[in-house]
Structure formats: structure tokens, C-alpha cells
Structure 1
Amino acid sequence: MVGAFHGHAHNRRCQIDWHPMYIEGTGHTEGEGCEHIFSSSNELARSTRHATTFHRHQSIEQHFAFWDEDKYAALSVFIQNHYREAQEDIRTLTAELSVIRETLNLADTDFIRFHAQEHEYLDALKQTPVKDLLSIRYINVLDELAERQSEWNQAREAANRSLVEIHVGSLSDMHLALNQARVRVDTAYSKLQNTEQLAGHLEVQLGIDKRWEIGSECYSRFREEALLLKYRSTLDELERLVVMRLFELSKLSLSGTGKYAVFDVF
């Protein structure tokens, strides 16, 4: 079993096997008992860092002795509160589950089947199929190709305007303006050619005879897939950053505060 706190940092495939939510008999156990102890004992670091060996051992032993006594004294209240909480959850969740079953016409076995189907789906979907990845890459290249075409057209228009708008003056100024226009056109055309070659290469790999038009059915379908892929990647990154922040807050003994401590250094 992976603890409920750490479990959300694992991928979905791991969670449906090892997260406490999906393991029968775990109840409200989150599997983070050690972390509760460590969170409290971390406070010892500041007071024992520069202490002697004797006083360090003494502080640690006293801390855990008081920890045991406090937990033992509050054990009956702890059990009573959790028992009442469990009874209340059983009552409310059973009622909610009954409504869901009636509304969606489901049986208890359907939930087990849904879990098994998700397990099977994730096993088969280790990664996005290569052809789909190539198709997503292809539509991104088509977007880039349209952008490069627009840049080349703008460069040519600017070059034509430069021929008309050049004021009579020194030959060096005229030569500089024409040279700048030529460089811009050549650069834009070079980028356009490179993108054309990449699009053609992807079309060969995908077996595409006629280039997809922006807005066509195939383009729109894989554009949506590309957005979903980017969305999922962003969610994964966000979850990773949230978990990282929680760990940082825990190290600073600021868990649950939602903010960092700010220290002014002079």
C-alpha cells in the first residue's frame, strides 16, 4: 500500500492498485502513520543539532516518551471520535450510493467491473500510440507551416515596399535597405522550406496522399487530441509541483499554513 499523501504523486495506474482508496479493509487509514511521527520529531532538529551526544539522545528519548504518553492518554477519545466518524460516513455514503445506483441503474458488481475495466484500459495504454503522436506532431507542423508562409509573404511585401519607399539619397543607404530586405526574405523562405520538408516527411510516415487542410475533419480531431494531451501533461506537472510544495512546507514546519515563511536578511 502507498500512503494516501504520497499516492497522489504516483501515476493513475499505480494508484488503482496501491492507493488506500482501492484496497479493501483500509477504511479511513491513510497509511501515513510514520509521517505523523516524523512531522512532530522534526522539531527536535533545531534543539539537538549543536547538542552533545548525551543531550541529543536524552531529548529524543524524552520526546518519544511524552509522545507515547500523550497518545495513550488520548487513545479512548481518538477511538471514539473515529468510530462516530465511521458510523456517520457509513450512514451518509450508503444513502448517497443508493441514489447513484438507482439513478444510473447500477449494481454493486458494476463498481467492481468499472475498476477492473480501468485497470485493463491503463494496462493497454502504456503510452499514446506512435501514429497518434505523429499525427499530433503533423498538425503542429501544419500550424507552423501556415505561420512560416505568412512570414514569407510579409517579408516579400516589405521588400516590395522598400523598393518604392526608398528615398533618394546616398547609394550606401539604398544598398543597406535592399540588403536588409533581401536577408529577411531569404531567412523567411529558408524557414518555410525547412517546415515544408518536415511536413512532407511526416506525410510519408503517416501515408498521407493529400495534405490536411487546417479546419478539416482529421485536423480538428487531432487538434483536440493535442489539446487534451497538453492538458493532461499540465495537470501532471501541476500535481507534481503541489506535492513538491507540500513537502517543502513540511520541511519548514509550515504544513497546513498554505504559505512560506519570509525572512529578511540584512
Structure 2
Amino acid sequence: MVGAFHGHAHNCMCQLDWHPQYIQGTGHTEGEGCEHIFAASNELARSTRHATLFHRHQAIEQHFAFWDANKYAALSKYLRVHFEEMVRAISTLASELDVIKKEYNLIDNDFVRFHADERSYLENLKQPAVCDQLLICYVQILDELEAYRAEWDAAREVVNSALTEVPVGNLEELSIAIKRSCLRVDTSYAKLQYVETHTSNVEMRLGIQPWWEIGGEEYKCYKAEATMVKYRAALDELERLVVM
């Protein structure tokens, strides 16, 4: 069993097998007993950090001996309080569950079936076909190509305006402006060439002819799929961050 606090850091398939809420008999047990002990023993750090070896061992041993005796002394109260909580929870949750079952026309076996259906879905879940993955990548490359073309055009416009703004006769400023302009144009053009080469390689590998245009039907189809891929990844990350 994976503790409830750490459970959502595991993938969905792992949670179906090992999360406490899916294991019969766990009830409201969160499975984080060790964390309770660690939290209580954290205060030892300040008092034992600079202690001798003997006094460090003595403090740790006394702490856990007292912790054990204290928990044992409070065991009967602990059991009674939690028993009363469970009686109230069973009464309340059973009533709420009856309302849900009536509203959606469900029976107890349906909840078991839902769990099995989710497991079956995850077991049969596959990655998109390699061709579809490449087409999604191709759409993303087309977007990059368009962005780098715009960047190169902007760099050339900046060069033209920069040279005209230099005062006539000021050779030093003119030289600096030319160097900066050349650097910007060369950098943007190098990026553009790299993406153009990458685009051509993908098009040759996929046998795309004629090339897709941004806004075309094929582009729109796989652009939507690329967006869904990012959306699913965001959902997975969000679920990972959720702590029950």
C-alpha cells in the first residue's frame, strides 16, 4: 500500500492497485504511520546536533520510549474516539451514497465495475501511432518555422532602421551599428536555416507533398491533436500535484 499523502505522486495504474482508497478494509487509514513518528522526532535534531555520541543515543532512546509509553497509555481513548468517528462516518456516508445510487440508478456492483473498467482502460491505453506522432511534431515545426521567419524579417527591418539613424560622418557608431546588425541577422538566419532543414527532413520522411500550409485542413487537424497532447500532459501533472 502507498500512503495517501504520497499516493498521487504515482501514476493512475499504480494508484488503482496500491492507493488506500482502492484497497478493501483500509477505511480512513492514510498509511502514513511512519510520517507521524518522524514528525514527533524532528524536535530531537536541535538538542542532539551538538551532543556527544552517548547523550545523542540516550536522548533518542528516551524520546521513543516515552513516545511508545504515551501512545500505549492513550490507546483505549484512541480506539474509542476513532470508533465513534467511524460510526458517524458510516451513517453519514451511507445516507449520501444511497442518494447518489438512486439519482444515477446504481448498485453496489457498479462501483466494482467502474474500478475494473478504469483498470482495463489504462492497461489498453497506447501511445499514438508513430506516424501520428511525427505529424504532430511536423505541425509544431511549422509553427517554429513561421516564428523564425518573422524573427528574420524583423531583424532585417531593424538593421535598415539602425543604419539610417546613425549620424552622418560618425564612423565609430556606424561600425558598431553594422556589427550589431550583422550579428542579429546572422543569428536569426542560422536559426531559420536549422528549422528549414529540420522541416525538410520531416517532410521527406513522411512523404508530404505538397507541403502543408498553416491554416490548412491537415494542419488544423493535427494542431488540435498537438494541443490535446499538451492538455493531457498538464492534467497528468495537475493530478500528480494533488494531495488527498
State the identity as a percent: 52
Equivalent-residue separation in structure 2 for 1:32 and 1:172 (angstroms):
70
Tell me the equivalent position of 1:254. none
Of the three residues 230, 234, 243, the one matched with 1:231 is 234
Superposed CA deviations along residues 157-214 of structure 1, whole A, max 9, x for unmatched, are 3445567666543677666655654554444333222212212222344454331524
Which residue type is aligned with residue 213 of structure 1? Answer: I
Which residue type is aligned with residue 89 of structure 2? Answer: D
Equivalent-residue separation in structure 2 for 1:52 and 1:177 (angstroms):
69
Equivalent-residue separation in structure 2 for 1:40 and 1:118 (angstroms):
38
Tell me the equivalent position of 1:194. 194
1:211 aligned to 2:216? no
Equivalent-residue separation in structure 2 for 1:229 and 1:203 (angstroms):
26
Tell me the equivalent position of 2:24. 24
Equivalent-residue separation in structure 2 for 1:187 and 1:99 (angstroms):
66
Cα displacement (A) at 1:94: 1.9
Equivalent-residue separation in structure 2 for 1:211 and 1:103 (angstroms):
50
SS for the counterpart of 1:10 is coil
Equivalent-residue separation in structure 1 for 2:64 and 2:163 (angstroms):
85
Equivalent-residue separation in structure 1 for 2:83 and 2:185 (angstroms):
76
1:3–1:32 Cα contact (<8 Å) kept: yes
Which residue type is aligned with residue 227 of structure 1? Answer: K
Cα displacement (A) at 1:52: 4.8
Superposed CA deviations along residues 81-127 of structure 1, whole A, max 9, x for unmatched, are 11121122212222222232233333322222221222223233476
Return closer, same or farther for 1:93/1:205 CA change in 2, 3 Å cut-off. Answer: farther
Which residue type is aligned with residue 197 of structure 2? Answer: Q
1:124 aligned to 2:127? no
Superposed CA deviations along residues 7-52 of structure 1, whole A, max 9, x for unmatched, are 2332222111111111111112222223322322333343344145
Cα displacement (A) at 1:71: 1.8
Tell me the equivalent position of 1:75. 75
Counting only pairs closer than 5 Å after superposition, residues 138-149 of structure 1 correspond to structure 2 as 138-149=138-149
**TM-score with structure 2 length normalisation?**
0.78
Gaps of 5+ in 1: 243-266
1:212–1:218 Cα contact (<8 Å) kept: no
SS for the counterpart of 2:151 is helix
RMSD of aligned alpha carbons: 3.3
Return closer, same or farther for 1:205/1:175 CA change in 2, 3 Å cut-off. Answer: same
**TM-score with structure 1 length normalisation?**
0.72
Tell me the equivalent position of 2:155. 155
Q: Using CA pairs under 8 Å that are at least 6 residues apart, name the structure with larger relative contact order, 1 or 2.
A: 2
Which residue type is aligned with residue 155 of structure 1? Answer: A
SS for the counterpart of 1:89 is helix
Tell me the equivalent position of 1:101. 101
Return closer, same or farther for 1:161/1:71 CA change in 2, 3 Å cut-off. Answer: closer
1:155–1:185 Cα contact (<8 Å) kept: yes
2:4–2:19 Cα contact (<8 Å) kept: yes
Superposed CA deviations along residues 215-259 of structure 1, whole A, max 9, x for unmatched, are 7531431242243145246537756xx8xxxxxxxxxxxxxxxxx
SS for the counterpart of 1:112 is helix
SS for the counterpart of 2:212 is coil
Tell me the equivalent position of 1:86. 86
SS for the counterpart of 1:29 is coil
Bigger Cα displacement from structure 2, 230-239 vs 195-204: 230-239
Gaps of 5+ in 2: none
